[in-house]
Amino acid sequence: MTIWNQTAVLGLYTLSPTHYGTGQTTGAVDLPIARDAATGFPVLPATGIKGVLREVAEHTDTLKSKVKDLFGPEIGTEDSSQGLTVGRLAFTEARLIAYPARGLTQPFLHVTCPLILEGLARDLRATGAETALPLGAQAMEAGGGARVAGSSLGGQAVVLEDLIYPAEEVTHDKDLEALANTLATLIPDQEAATRARLKQGLVVIPDADFGALMQSAVPVHARVQLTSGKTTDKYENKETGNTESGNLWYEEVLPSDCLFAALIGERRSRPASGSNGGDGADKGTLGDLVATPEAVRVLQIGGNETVGQGLCLGTLVPAPTGRTGR
């Protein structure tokens, strides 16, 4: 018996720069992105993913009648006045799977490390979803150099931002090639060219090197709010008589072509007398969400929606299950 009735892996592939912040300043960066506290790797918190999918469900004909069952009632609504209940769906944060790093032979390569792959495999086993993304154990083995999935990259030097791996430290790995094919299923099958780029350009580097990359390669954008006088300083608006203040700040963003993965689970039903007030009826299930892939194909996550940030390709990969343990 697994912790959930059913599990699906949600793949998120960034199409535009994405800022999911923490609301705290870090050094010279006014608005950093959310990161894992232990590793420093970028994450997309579960609360935002749940909120985005709830909004999607509210605007999808086949799901709008099941929003309360799947996500629970919204606080402050008429439904919540009857008592708060827990939705059937549970969400994890989306963890980084592959990061686009600039190269010399190609515009960028998708980079990951054994720590990321081990964590993904562990999460899949814990939630009974290992059949959704079968990851070979040999592909996760740590090494001193760079292992590449594309045969065209083997035997030549690989440059990733400011990391340089001489040709003798670069090996083409058949197991990694199979892993790249598996990870490509986290990208919608309509995006064949993007899938092919991931398959041919996946590179596994040591954990320490990837950690250094995450401290130096994540872009920082300067944002400006101007006054009516087109300045960032205080400006006396003679027309209104008001004193305006502009602003200049720096925010971290995830670039396009990052691959993330989150887990969505359908919680087991509980009797009506339980603490969550559930009635145990199958009014809405994870299968309903999986059955509408077009609803999650393009999502917008994080802040700065009006300037086009946070656009992502989404895909759900369900784990086969007998749905036992209710």
> For residue 321, what pLDDT is reported?
64
Domain spans, the chain: 6-218+253-318, 222-252
Strand partners for 262 = 10
> For residue 273, what pLDDT is reported?
37
> For residue 239, what pLDDT is reported?
82
**How much of the chain exceeds pLDDT 70, in percent?**
89
- Is pLDDT at 221 greater than 70 in this prediction? yes
Tell me the pLDDT band of 226, cut-offs 50, 70 and 90. confident
Tokens encoding 183: 């990870």
What does the pLDDT look like over 260-309, one tens digit per residue? 999 999 988 754 433 444 444 447 899 999 999 999 999 999 988 888 99
Flag the least confident range among 116-120, 187-191, 236-240, 297-301.
Answer: 236-240
- Is pLDDT at 236 greater than 60 in this prediction? yes
Phi, psi of 262 (to 5 degrees): -125, 165
Instruction: Annotate 61-121 with DSSP letters as a single string.
Output: TTTGGGHHHHH-PPTTSTTGGG-----SEEE-PEEEEEEEEE-SSSSEEEEE-HHHHHHHH
> For residue 93, what pLDDT is reported?
97
pTM of the full structure:
0.88
| Angle at CA of residue 45, ends 312 and 48, nearest 5° | 65
